[in-house]
Structure 1
Amino acid sequence: MSALTLMHLTSVGPDKPPASVEFGPHLTVVYGASETGKSYIVEAIDYMLGATKLKTISQADGYTHMLLGLHTADGEIFTLCREMGGTKVDVFEDDLRSLPAVAPNKTLNLKHDPKAENNLSRYLLKIVGVDGRRVLKNARRVLRTLSFRDLAHLCVITDTPMADERSPVLASRQTIKETEDKSVFKLLLTGEDEPEGPTGASNVEKKVGKGKIELLDQLITQAQSRLEIASSESELHDQLRRLEESLVNASAAARDLVADRSALIEQERQLQVRTTMNRERSGELSTLLGRFGLLRQQYESDLDRLRMVAEAGSLLGYFFREGPCIFCGAAPEQQQPDHQTAETEQLQAAVAAEIRKTTELHADLLTTMDDLEEQLRLLEGDHASLIAGSSALTCELAALDERLAPLTEDTKAILSTQSKVQADLAIHAQVQQFEELRASLSSMPAVPEPARPDGIPASNLADFERTMHEILASWQLPGANHVTYDQRTAEISVDGSPRGSRGRGMRSVIHAAFTLALARYTAERDLPHPGFVVLDSPLLAYREPDEDFVMPRNVVGHFFQSLHDELKVQIIVAENVNPPQDLGEQATLHPFRTAAAERVGFYPASAPLG
């Protein structure tokens, strides 16, 4: 695969001295005091590779364009030029380091468009040799083409995602794009496109079931977030079996007590479910009764008014027998004999009919309300029974706990773990029910889980884990530095501890190792990758007052020496801590505002950068 090498980043503007930093072909370290523009350089590189925005700082006032010089593996040089806040990128097939004085060779849009040629993403993908490659868009196996931003997320790591708790594989940092992120990672490890497959439901089916499916997805996500143990359901069953065997071996006397306790916990859970359903139904019935009560009042009010109308009509017909008709207004000469009597009878008949209709509706409503009130009474009685049963179970559990109290601390720990496993198994069962219900909402073929569409072959994954282990070991971090990757959660664990559970400092170090391992792995196998890595604050030397992580000095030295010895990938590091001074001629060093430093920061300004 063709690789890109970054040559320089330069900011220019009318009547402004260029602000520039040169990048070496192998290792470049920009280091020094905080707030001198080191992170700004990383963000500006990302901006030039298609990021939507670059933060505004006062030192950049008057600077109108950003330039990024690159060359390909074939030696072709070009410069990307983007106006500050601009939505297009100009390409100059030359090493440009000043304000453009000639027209660009190309002008490209920022947004990736697989059907158009004039966008930055496809321009860079063609150079890397992966234009048109396909990844999964969602769990329904809908495919989309690879975007260069998919790759940029994995090679240009700014300070925020560097220490983020989310897995480095989930580089977009958007939950809705987890399937896409995992598919991109799979493409880099295997070099293979996602295969064609069933794309799920039709548009009509999607519209019909979209709301329910999205709700079930949220319920599944919420349920999975409550899992306490990072193990599969089968692993949990195995663990539960081992725990039960340990309990039997530890104390035969406690075996029956433990079984009884487990049964009581399950009964209590079932009672809680029934209680929740009971309260929900009671609420629904109470709401209906309230609404029906208002309707009953309306019916009764209508009946009263109709009786008043009937009585008033009779009186009017009796007292007013001469002159214009009080009902229809007809003059005496236009009235038939007994006109007033006929009109009175018609009014009485109409009112009587409306009274009969309203009376029937009122009677039906009362019957319905009686039925609902009876249901509500039954539910209240059932609720009282449930509460009593729950209280009884609580008492039984308390009694069992008192009998179990004398057990050893080891047995208590086993019981605690067993409870967590049982709770997780219950959540897994709930998730399975949700997923089965979700599948029944549409007729589309069943699809794999989003986190593992087809899975990364074990050999590829083992090679990557070994590569990352070698990098961590070369930095001489404490421990065996054994690396594992969970395809379901996309979590990376080192020595059995998930990265997301580690402190901020170790998360940054592991993220840096992941990024470098991915670059080395792809370079050694001629697989897709831009060919460079940009890291912001991997050692986390600048820390907040409450941050308790400080990287050991020997690790810092081995870290930089390892990067110095890495000749397959171009590496750019922005860091507060000073690198060793014996990195050699292959390293390019840029000290900012340090002792004997020639410059105060990226921009030639006396005040610190914001």
Structure 2
Amino acid sequence: MENRIVIKRLAMTGPERETREIGFVPGLNVIWGASNAGKSFIIKSLDYMFGSGSLLPEIKQREGMEACWLELELPQSGATTLRRSLAGGGISIFDKPLEDVGTSESERVVSSSHSATTPSLSGMLLEELGVSRKQIANNTDGKKSAFTFRHFAHYMFTEETPMMAEWSPIQISAQSGPTFDKNVFKFLLTGVDDSLLVVAKSTKEQQTENVGKIEIVEEMISVALDELARMFPEDKLENLDLDDQEQRISGTISSWQSTLSLRQSRLDALVASRRSNRDLLAEFDARAEHIDLTLSRFGLLGSVYNSDLERLEGLGEGAEALLAGAQRSCPLCGADPDHQRHNHGYEAVELSQKAVSAEMAKIRAEKTDLTRAVRSLSMEREGVNARRQAISEELQALDLSIATARPSEAQARTEYERLDRERQRIRNGLSLKRRIEALEKRRAELATFKPRRQAKDAVTAGISGTAGHEFAMKVQSILRAWQFPGEPVVAFDGRTHDILLNGSDRRSNGKGVRALMNAAFKIGVLEFCRERRLPHPGIIALDSPLLSYRDPHKSRHGELSEDEVAVKNANLNTYFYGDLAERAKHVQFIIVENDPPPEDLPSGSRVTRFTGPFADDGRKGFL
């Protein structure tokens, strides 16, 4: 984005009034129409919203309005809306377009007056343009004031009376003084301020400055003595030997530091041992828990073995019974076993009995192994319990030792810290005494000061002749682009820092020609800055620059002078608007006139007509 500010919208609101607003495009804006429609009030309102200290005039149309709003597009922050009471005061900042503000509270409130220490509109806008902490010399003695945004505003907004005035366009106010005005002009055209300006002082100024230095040093000594008395209320300052006190207390602190170190080391060793034993006890607890769980599972396994043996013994007894019955006579026919035809599976019973016997032998062997494992784990459990008991007893002893050592260490630490604080107090006192001694020495040196007469350095205000000539050529090119009659020749007057038109100063021309000279001057400043990449807000608002086209029978400015008639007959107004439209690619123009502009303005321009308070149609005025 270009390093310039763009005005988007101006509005006024009141609790019982309909909101009134007017929009602007970034390029050429023309507001024309009947008198008493509020055209000039728009220029005043814009200047007011950029921090002017003058309240807006109490015209009838603004009755019921209480606040003025201005929407801007800033080069760094983007869409920003300002709100200011018509009664004056500070400015509320909203970091959003006007239509998005609604009833929301402002993000911040800044002062309308420039300040180097508190937030202000001037500081905010200067920062947006990359301008900060610039100094302007007020006079040839080297006294300086801060450059503020209001100095930019003087070259942005030109009302009707200053537009045709006989004084130079660089005059910021009646109180500013020619040296200051020239140096502001110099900063705009060169980017060089007066921060580094140094001027030799007279003997009287040197004496006054030295007296002021002595007063400051004496005040600093008095403050330091009061502070020293508060630090050592029990001692008389003239008998206060802080060096000896610092030496003695440092020796005591060294002794206590050794004691504290020993006690801290012993306490740290006890705490470390307790931590190690606690970790070991936790390991034994975990082992004991694991053993108990394993024994519990082995018990269940032993129960399973017993159950299996009982079941197998039953099977064995059944097999024996079957085999015993096989040796008896048949209960049905009485036949002997040798004469029985069927053996009823006795061989299978015998095999089964053998398998049962083998399985029982296997289970008994496993049960024996289980018994040995249970015995081994039970013995390990007893050992773990014994070790846990020993560690627990050791931990109790360590807790008792720590409980005994901790107060001793705390007592040593408390005493060490008390002594250290006292030593720091003494050292602070020593530092303060040395500062007092240095101040007293400085006071003695100042008391012997004798001013020296020095040659007065010459300080040149304003711009050089070369820069002035280049600026005059820029203004001349603008007037020629407007087809000013007679191939105008513009020169720079180094004494007044104004331009001469065809060898004549501003006063020698009619009101309408002075208005054109002023307009070309202000536009020339902007173009000069743009070509040299110097900061400028990029806004030119002019009230009645084409005064030469007034109707002498209706205008309060009376008959046209001879040079004004020549301008009017040259069709300059057509070329004027055409040139502004061409320059408006990088500049925002706001032109207020009574007569309409040409109809063939570029499509990006905005023309607003006010028909006047007595009209039956159209927009009657701003408010």
Return the TM-score normalized by structure 2.
0.55
Aligned to 2:186: 186
Aligned to 2:526: 519
Report the alpha carbon displacement of residue 100 of structure 1 after superposing the two structures with TM: 5.3
Report the alpha carbon displacement of residue 97 of structure 1 after superposing the two structures with TM: 4.8
Alignment of 1:112-511 (within 5 A): 112-114=114-116, 116-174=117-175, 176-201=176-201, 205=205, 445-448=455-458, 452-453=460-461, 455-511=462-518
Aligned to 2:56: 54
Find the aligned partners of 1:597 and 1:563 in 2 and give their Cα distance.
Answer: 30
Aligned to 1:70: 72
Q: Is the 8 A contact 1:12 1:19 kept in 2?
A: yes
Q: 1:93 to 1:488 in 2, by over 3 A?
A: same
Q: Is the 8 A contact 2:472 2:499 kept in 1?
A: no
Deviates more, 1:197-206 or 1:104-113: 197-206
**1:601 is the counterpart of 2:621:** yes
Find the aligned partners of 2:206 and 2:499 in 1 and give their Cα distance.
Answer: 34
Report the alpha carbon displacement of residue 80 of structure 1 after superposing the two structures with TM: 1.1
Q: SS of the residue aligned with 1:46? A: helix
Specify every segment of 5 or more residues in structure 1 that has no aligned partner in the other structure, as ranges.
209-441, 604-610
Structure with greater Cα Rg? 2
Show CA shifts across 1:442-487 (max 9, x none): 95642436xx42x524443333222111110011111222211222
Find the aligned partners of 1:98 and 1:15 in 2 and give their Cα distance.
Answer: 21
**1:547 is the counterpart of 2:567:** no
Find the aligned partners of 1:113 and 1:202 in 2 and give their Cα distance.
Answer: 30
Report the alpha carbon displacement of residue 545 of structure 1 after superposing the two structures with TM: 5.6
Q: 1:444 to 1:62 in 2, by over 3 A?
A: farther
Show CA shifts across 1:357-398 (max 9, x none): xxxxxxxxxxxxxxxxxxxxxxxxxxxxxxxxxxxxxxxxxx
The residue identity in structure 2 corresponding to 1:108 is V
Find the aligned partners of 1:96 and 1:590 in 2 and give their Cα distance.
Answer: 20
Q: Is the 8 A contact 1:198 1:445 kept in 2?
A: no
Return the TM-score normalized by structure 1.
0.56
Report the alpha carbon displacement of residue 189 of structure 1 after superposing the two structures with TM: 0.9
Q: Once superposed, what is the RMSD of the aligned Cα atoms?
A: 2.5
Sequence identity, in percent? 32
Report the alpha carbon displacement of residue 584 of structure 1 after superposing the two structures with TM: 1.8
Q: 1:152 to 1:535 in 2, by over 3 A?
A: same
Show CA shifts across 1:308-341 (max 9, x none): xxxxxxxxxxxxxxxxxxxxxxxxxxxxxxxxxx
Equivalenced residues, count: 365
Q: Is the 8 A contact 2:182 2:463 kept in 1?
A: no
Show CA shifts across 1:424-444 (max 9, x none): xxxxxxxxxxxxxxxxxx956
Deviates more, 1:145-154 or 1:198-207: 198-207
Show CA shifts across 1:544-571 (max 9, x none): 2633245516111111111111122111
Find the aligned partners of 1:602 and 1:99 in 2 and give their Cα distance.
Answer: 22
Q: SS of the residue aligned with 2:18? A: coil
Report the alpha carbon displacement of residue 495 of structure 1 after superposing the two structures with TM: 1.1
Aligned to 2:580: 563
Q: SS of the residue aligned with 1:17? A: strand
Aligned to 1:575: 593
Q: Is the 8 A contact 1:5 1:71 kept in 2?
A: yes
The residue identity in structure 2 corresponding to 1:552 is K
Show CA shifts across 1:503-545 (max 9, x none): 1111111000001111111122210211111111111145326
Find the aligned partners of 1:568 and 1:171 in 2 and give their Cα distance.
Answer: 25
Show CA shifts across 1:565-584 (max 9, x none): 11221111111121001102
Specify every segment of 5 or more residues in structure 2 that has no aligned partner in the other structure, as ranges.
209-451
Q: 1:192 to 1:545 in 2, by over 3 A?
A: closer
The residue identity in structure 2 corresponding to 1:54 is L
Aligned to 2:103: 101
